[in-house]
Amino acid sequence: MKVLLLRFGELYLKGNNRNVFENMLISNIKKKLVGEEFKFSNTFGRYVISNYKEEDEEKIISLLKEVFGLYSLSKAIEVEATPENIYREAKAVVLGEKTFKAIVKRADKNFPIPSMELAKELGGVILEGNPNATVDLYNPQFVFNVDIRMNGKAYIFTDTIKCQCGLPLGSAGKGLLLLSGGIDSPVAGYLMAKRGMELDALHFHSYPYTSELAKEKVISLAREISPYVGKIRLHVVSFTKVQEAIHMNCSPEYMITLMRRIMMRVAERICEENSLGAIITGESLGQVASQTMQSMTVTGEVVKRKPIFRPCVAMDKEDIMQIANSIGTYKTSILPYEDCCTVFLPKNPIIKPTIERCEKEERRLNIDLLVDECLQSEEIIEID
CB of 181 to Mg ion, least distance (A): 7
Closer to Mg ion at the Cβ: 95 or 259?
Answer: 259
Using DSSP's 3-state secondary structure scheme, residue 216 falls into helix
The item of Mg ion, ligand ATP, none sharing an interface with residue 311, based on CB under 5 to 8 Å by kind, is none
Q: How many chain residues interact with Mg ion (CB under 5 A)?
A: 3
Residue of this chain nearest to ligand ATP (CB atom): 182
Q: Starting from the edge strand earliest in sequence, which strands make up the sheet with 232-238, in order?
A: 308-309, 279-280, 174-178, 198-205, 232-238, 379-383
CB of 259 to ligand ATP, least distance (A): 8
**In whole angstroms, how far apart are CA 202 and each of 160, 284, 287, 300?**
38, 19, 21, 17
Upstream peptide bond of 208 is cis (omega within 30 degrees of 0): yes
Closer to ligand ATP at the Cβ: 81 or 289?
Answer: 289
> In 132-168, which positions are buried (b, 16+ CB within 10 angstroms) versus exposed (e)?
ebeeeeeebebebbbbbbebebbbbbeebeebbebbb
- Using rule CB under 5 A, residue 311 touches Mg ion: no
Q: Which residues bind ligand ATP (CB under 6 A)?
A: 178-180, 182-185, 202-204, 281-283, 287-288, 290-291, 339-341
Closer to ligand ATP at the Cβ: 226 or 291?
Answer: 291
CB of 317 to ligand ATP, least distance (A): 8
The item of Mg ion, ligand ATP, none sharing an interface with residue 340, based on CB under 5 to 8 Å by kind, is ligand ATP
Using DSSP's 3-state secondary structure scheme, residue 161 falls into strand
Task: List 153's β-bridge partners, or say none.
Answer: 80
The item of Mg ion, ligand ATP, none sharing an interface with residue 238, based on CB under 5 to 8 Å by kind, is none
Return the residues of window 331-350 that contact Mg ion according to CB under 5 A.
339
Closer to ligand ATP at the Cβ: 67 or 222?
Answer: 222
CB of 231 to ligand ATP, least distance (A): 19
Cα–Cα distance measured from residue 185 to residue 240, given in angstroms and rounded to the nearest whole number:
21
Cα–Cα distance measured from residue 359 to residue 18, given in angstroms and rounded to the nearest whole number:
47
What phi and psi values does residue 105 have, to the nearest 5 degrees?
Answer: -115, 130
CB of 222 to Mg ion, least distance (A): 15
Asked if residues 61 and 73 have their Cβ atoms less than 8 Å apart, the reply is: yes
Cα–Cα distance measured from residue 104 to residue 162, given in angstroms and rounded to the nearest whole number:
20
Residue type at position 162:
K
CB of 186 to ligand ATP, least distance (A): 7
Return the residues of window 164-223 that contact Mg ion according to CB under 5 A.
180, 182
Closer to Mg ion at the Cβ: 168 or 182?
Answer: 182
Closer to ligand ATP at the Cβ: 202 or 219?
Answer: 202
CB of 356 to ligand ATP, least distance (A): 23
Asked if residues 202 and 274 have their Cβ atoms less than 8 Å apart, the reply is: no
Closer to ligand ATP at the Cβ: 48 or 236?
Answer: 236
